[in-house]
Amino acid sequence: MVSGQSNKQTVIGVRCQDIQTGLHGYQVDEFETLTKVGIAARLSIHLRGTDVVEYNKLKEVSPLLFGISKLEFPAITTLLQEVDFVSIIGTGDSKLINPKVPYFGDMYERLGEKAILDGLTEQEKASIELLQRLSEKPIRKNNIEKSMGLEPKLLDRILRIGKEGSYFNDIYRPEGNIILTPLYFGENPQFFAEAVQKYGEDIVGNTISSIRRMPGTPLKTILENATIGANEVGEDELELIKTLVSRGILQCPSIETTYSGKNYFIFTPPIGTPKIAVVEKEIYEKAMAVIACVRQGEHFGDWRVKYPVAIIKELLRAGWLRATTIAREQYKTLILKRICRLEPPDTKWQRTVLIDTPENRRALELAAEMLETGEIQTGRGLDTKTIEVIQSDLHYQESLRAYSDMRRRKQVPITQKEYQESTDALLEIICKAV
C-alpha cells in the first residue's frame, strides 16, 4: 500500500506515475496502459488548480514537459475526459482545456481504476507490484521470485527496464543480490543491502515503516520507551535506528527549549531521485520543521498537543494559532524558516501567524498528509517551473526544438536470448495460421 489508508487503485495510480516519470524519453513495448495512465497523472498534477489552458499550446509543450508526442496527445486528453479531470471547450484553433482535477488521493484512485478497466499487461502488473513492495523494504532477489511467483526471465526484464528508469536497483551481495528502489532507499543503498544481510528484510522493513507511519517521533522517546507510536521496537530495530542516525541516513531536525532541552525528531529520507522528483527538498525540510514543532508540543509541552494534525489544519484554515506564552520557543524553527511570524512581536502572549505563500501552504499540506498517511501524494512530482510554462503567454516553439528530449525516444534493449524467444514465438504463430 502507498499508505495505511490507500487502496489498490490508488497504489496503481501512484506507481504508474513513478514508473512513467522514470522512463520519460524511453519506449517500452511491454508498457501501454501504464504509460498512458502515468502520463495522465503527471499532466493532471500540473493542471490541478490552474485556469483554462489553450489546447494547442499545451500540445506544443507536452513533448518536452511530459513526454507526450503530438500524436499521443489527443489520446491522453481523451483519457482525462473519461475520468472527468478535464473538459474540452470549443473546436479547432480556439479549443480550450478546462481542468477539474481533484485534490489528494482521489486523483490517483480514479486513474488506478482507469488502468484496471483498460487492462494491464503481466509486465505492467509485475512492475507496479514490485515497486510497491520495494517501497517498504529492500528484498533479496530470490525471495522476489518465490513470493511473487515470477519467472526469472520476466523478473530480469522488468528489473532491466526499472534500472534504466532509475526506480529499481540491483545490489550485488555474495550471498545473493538484493533489490531496492532508489525512490525510497537512494541514500546509501549499499548500507541498506548490508542491513538486509545483517538483520533480515523484515527488521529493516518494519523499522522504516514504523518511522514513516509516525514521522517526527522524538529519538529520546524511541530510545527510552522502545516504541514508535503504538509499535514496540526490539533490540535489533533500536540498533538499526542508532546506526541510521549516526550515518545521517535518517533526517533528524532538532528543537531546543528552556523547558525540555534539545530534542531530535526522526524522519525517513526524502523520497525521489534526480530523475523522479517527488517533492522539492526545501518543501520537505519545511514540512519536517512543521511536524517537529507540533511533536514538540505533543511530547514535551506543559499543555500537551493531543492532535498534532489538527494544529496544522487549523493553521491552514484560519492562518493563525491562538496566543500562548511558549509560542516563541515551540515555533522558533518555523519563524527562522519564514513559515510563520509571531504577533504581537514583543509580548508574553503571542499568536503564531502563517506567512501565506504557495510554498508554505504546500509544506503545511505535506506535513498534514505525512502525519495522516505516512506518504506523499499531494503535489507528488509537482514542478513549479512546468506550471509557469503552461500558464505563460510566451511562445516556446524555438526553445523546444533545442531540447535533447525532443529527439527520438530511446528503447530499453532486449537481450539476444529474449530476441530469439520472441522470434520463435512469432514463427510458431505464423505456422499455426498457415
Stretch 397-416: mean pLDDT: 47
Percent of the chain whose pLDDT exceeds 70: 88
Closest residue by Cα to residue 104 from 21, 44, 183: 44
Is 397 in contact with 60 (CB distance < 8 Å)? yes
- 240-286 residue pLDDT tens: 999 999 999 999 999 999 989 999 999 998 889 989 989 988 999 99
322 in helix, strand or coil? strand
Phi, psi of 323 (to 5 degrees): -65, 140
Q: Is the dihedral of CA 358, 360, 365, 366 positive or negative?
A: positive
Stretch 221-228: mean pLDDT: 95
Q: Please tell me the predicted confidence (pLDDT) of residue 433.
A: 52
With vertex at residue 375, the alpha carbon angle to CA 372 and CA 379, rounded to the nearest 5 degrees, is 100
Q: Residue 224 — very low, low, confident or very high, per pLDDT cuts 50/70/90?
A: very high
Q: Please tell me the predicted confidence (pLDDT) of residue 361.
A: 94
- 361-391 residue pLDDT tens: 999 999 999 999 888 887 899 888 888 888 7
Stretch 175-196: mean pLDDT: 92
Is 3 in contact with 107 (CB distance < 8 Å)? no
DSSP class of 27: E
Q: Going by C-beta distance under 8 Å and a sequence separation of 6 or more, which residues neighbour residue 66?
A: 24, 39, 42, 43, 46
Stretch 33-60: mean pLDDT: 93
Cβ atoms within 10 Å, residue 154: 16
3-state helix, strand, coil in the chain (%, to 5): 55, 15, 30
Query: Is pLDDT at 408 greater than 50 in this prediction?
Result: no
- 274-326 residue pLDDT tens: 899 899 889 999 999 999 999 999 999 777 888 999 999 999 999 999 999 98
Stretch 97-118: mean pLDDT: 91
pTM of the prediction?
Answer: 0.86
What's the CA gap between 403 and 43, in Å, rounded?
19
What's the CA gap between 227 and 221, in Å, rounded?
7
Element (H, E) at 284: helix 281-300
